[in-house]
Each structure stands twice: as C-alpha cells, then as structure tokens.
Homo-oligomer: A and B are copies of this chain.
Amino acid sequence: MSLENGILGYLSIRPMSGYDIKKLFNLSAAYFWPADQAQIYRSLKKLLSDGQIELHGISRGDGPERKEYAITEKGQGTLHDWLIHPSQTDFISRLSYIMQLFFSGLLSGEDQLRFLDEQLRINQGILQQLEFNCRDNIKAYTETAKLSEDDIRLTSSVWACKWGMLRCKAYTELLEEMKADIQKKRLM
C-alpha cells in the first residue's frame, strides 16, 4: 500500500500526472522505494476508482496527452491516517543484503572476506550516490519536476536522505568490524 500512499503524498503537494510522479520517485525516493512505471499507472487507476484522487484535467501542451490528478478530501484523510498511525509491520522489510550477511558465515574465511569487501564496495557506492543526491537533488528536483524549493521543503526529503547516509556509514562500520574479527580468528 505504500506506493499508493506515496502517490497521495506527492499529489498533496500539487496536482500531477503519472509521469511527474514517476520522475519524483526516481529523483528522490528510489533508494527506499523503487517505483515501477506500470505500477504507478495501475495505482493511479485504483486510487481514482476508490475516490482517493480525481482527474484534475487533461492537457495537451507541446507533447502528448497528459492526465493530471488531484487528491480528494478522502485521499487527504487516507494519507493523514497512514502518516499518524505507522504500524509495526511497516518496519519489517525484506533486506536481502542482511540475508546474505546472515549466511556469509557458511563461506570459507577467504570467501567471506571477499563477500565483505564486495558489500563494502557496493555500500560505498550507494553512499556516494546519496551524498550527491543530498547536495544536488533540490536543483534537479525544481528543474525537472517543476516544484518550487518550498514545495520540496514540505516533505522531509532531506531527513530521509540523511537517514540513508547514516545507515550506509553504520553499515560500513559493522562490515569493517566483521572483517577485523575474521582476520583475528585466522591468526589464532
């Protein structure tokens, strides 16, 4: 349901098309919620038939047909409810990299070290991407999505990004600690 709630979130900033929503997800939410284009349009359809959003207008500017959706009263209610009642299950998410970490002990010492280095490498790459996002995203945001800086500050996107970076740094520390532990055991 979170994709639908996210869509409601964006539409509560201003009316948008599915294409706009997709761009916003890619620009600023992809690292915690990769959104598939097909899924966005399907969700819009469902939200529309639920009365959570309404067709705000069909425009044809320079390009092809463009359907803009606006959030309804009912949609605002759903969004508000979702935000003020986070549930325990919202916290349980599938983390395949932790599944890998969990079973990495089954590898030989050498292979496990290789595994940890690989995780470190990927994690470092993600951190760099997030740092770039945090610095330059607002500009890209306002340009490509035509949102004002005030619009963006409506969300807590900077905090979410900060969380991504904190998580990466903490994970790096854990991986280094694991590496040290394995190397220590090898010398014994």
Q: CB within 8 Å of B: which residues of A?
A: 2, 5-6, 9, 12-13, 28-34, 79-80, 82-88, 90-107, 111, 114-115, 118-119, 122-123, 125-126, 153-157, 159-160, 162-164, 166-167, 170-171, 173-174, 178
Contact = CB atoms under 8 A, between A and B. Distances in A.
Question: Which of A33, A79, A100, A107 has most B Cβ within 10 Å?
Answer: A100
Give 6 closest A-B pairs by Cβ, nearest first: A9-B103, A105-B156, A2-B96, A32-B98, A102-B160, A32-B95
A23 to B, nearest CB: 16
A187 B181 CA distance: 48
A173 B167 CA distance: 12
Given A85-B118, A106-B9, A99 B29 contact: yes
Nearest to A123: B91
Which label, helix, strand, loop or mixed, suits the secondary structure of the A interface?
helix
B101 A160 contact: yes
B103 A156 contact: yes
Given A6-B99, A88-B125, A94 B34 contact: yes
Contacts of A163: 98, 101, 171, 174
A107 to B, nearest CB: 6
A86 B56 CA distance: 44
B86 A97 contact: yes
A31 B86 CA distance: 17
A157 B32 contact: no
A151 to B, nearest CB: 11
Contact of A83 (B83, B94, B106): B106
Given A98-B160, A156-B178, 18 more contacts: A2-B94, A5-B100, A6-B102, A31-B92, A32-B93, A33-B94, A34-B94, A80-B107, A83-B103, A83-B115, A86-B115, A87-B122, A93-B96, A104-B156, A105-B159, A166-B170, A166-B173, A167-B167
